Amino acid sequence: MGLRERVQRLRESLGRTREGIVARVARLAGGGAIDEAMLERLEEILLGADVGAQMSQGLIDAIRTRVKEEGTPDGARLLPLLKEEILRLWQDRAPGDPFAIGEARPWVIMLVGINGAGKTTTIGKLAAHHVREGRRVVIAAADTFRAAANEQIAVWADRAGAELIRQKQGSDPAAVAFDAVRAGAARGADVVIIDTAGRLHTKVNLMEELRKIRRVIQKHDPSAPHEVLLVVDASTGQNGLQQARQFGASVGVTGLVLTKLDGTARGGIVLAIAREFDIPVRFVGVGEGIGDIQPFVPEEFVEALFAQ
Ligand SMILES: Nc1nc2c(ncn2[C@@H]2O[C@H](COP(=O)(O)OP(=O)(O)O)[C@@H](O)[C@H]2O)c(=O)[nH]1
Ligand SMILES: [Mg+2]
């Protein structure tokens, strides 16, 4: 997908978020000079769009300072200032291609997150990308908890042109992951992607299970997993932040995937997450199809969000 097409797709996906933030701010800015009352309304809009308290406050403070510096509290400056200050957030983040893999073979990517976040779907999308790049991909069906999970991941593996390692339902997820890494190495795979369970009602056990998967695959390769992606459903808003805190602390997350950006009005969560975590957003999910994944590029995100 070309750059223009990608931004266009993102722009469509962010439609409701744009309505919730940018369109409202534009209407607010039409109301005259930027004063404290206007900034207060701006904060309400940002909070209501899941931008998060810290981030909203930070943006308001920055805009207040800028208005003072510029000495022109013209309402017309509100939207451009907001856009600039949002962009500034990501200024010091190295861009890099999140699809790129390092030198280790197989390169092991593990996906974690609560049920329904979009792990399995994201694995299908990632696998398809790597296969298209000419890489050999093995998927580990380590969500052995749900009966339907094996079937679902098998469908995605097939669609993506990846190989699948699975065992029967209820078997040890760490054993499946270990098998997959070993098989991947034996078969000369470039990438091994590990699907995991996300059931919530036994959270402590889930974190323990994920840590065990880590430990066990490290018996094969001490440097694995090379990437641990936390998948968060963007439409869950602030709840997503909570998940990022929990998983981040427990399983050494190295990157985030925000799914279901399409159709949600809560895309502001991307900003809240950027503010609170040092963990970079690597990808966004913009649909249920195999091609509906995009690398997260801050400039593209902000352009799409503020597009008229
Ligand atoms: N609209 C939309 N739906 C998604 C996206 N990613 C996943 N889904 C849907 O979310 C549901 C749960 O996804 P799944 O991959 O099974 O989640 P898991 O439990 O974390 O493995 C499925 O119906 C997916 O089609 C996305 O980016 N956009
Ligand atoms: Mg799943």
* Cβ neighbours, 10 Å, residue 153: 26
Residue 85: alpha-carbon gap to chain centroid:
21
Exposure string for 137-148, b = 16+ CB within 10 A, e = fewer: bbbbbbbbbeee
pLDDT (average), residues 208-215: 95
| Cα 119 to averaged position of ligand 1 atoms, centre (Å) | 7
Q: Report the chain's mean pLDDT, rounded to a whole number.
A: 92
Block residue for tokens 């329904």: 116
The predicted-structure confidence for 157-167, as pLDDT tens digits, reads as follows: 999 999 999 99
| Cα 40 to averaged position of ligand 1 atoms, centre (Å) | 36
| Cα 143 to averaged position of ligand 2 atoms, centre (Å) | 7
Asked whether 113 lines ligand 1 (CB < 6 A), one says yes
Cα 217 from Cα 223, distance rounded (Å): 9
Q: Is the pLDDT of residue 203 over 80?
A: no
Block residue for tokens 């399995």: 120
The predicted-structure confidence for 219-232, as pLDDT tens digits, reads as follows: 999 999 999 999 99
Probe residue for ligand 1, chosen from 288, 292, 293, 294 as the CB with the greatest number of ligand atoms within 8 Å = 288
Instruction: Give the end-to-end CA distance of the chain in Å, rounded to a whole number.
Output: 22
Q: What percentage of residues in the chain have a pLDDT greater than 90?
A: 75
Helices (H), the chain: 3-13, 15-18, 24-29, 36-48, 53-70, 78-89, 119-132, 147-160, 173-186, 203-220, 238-251, 269-276, 298-306
SS3 47: helix
Q: For position 239, what pLDDT does the model report? A: 86
pTM for the whole structure = 0.94
| Cα 21 to averaged position of ligand 1 atoms, centre (Å) | 25
* Beta strand pairing call for 163-165 and 227-233: unpaired
pLDDT (average), residues 64-78: 93
Q: Which atom of ligand 1 is nearest to the CA of 124?
A: 15
The predicted-structure confidence for 89-105, as pLDDT tens digits, reads as follows: 887 766 689 999 999 99
Backbone φ, ψ for residue 288 (5° rounding) = -90, -5
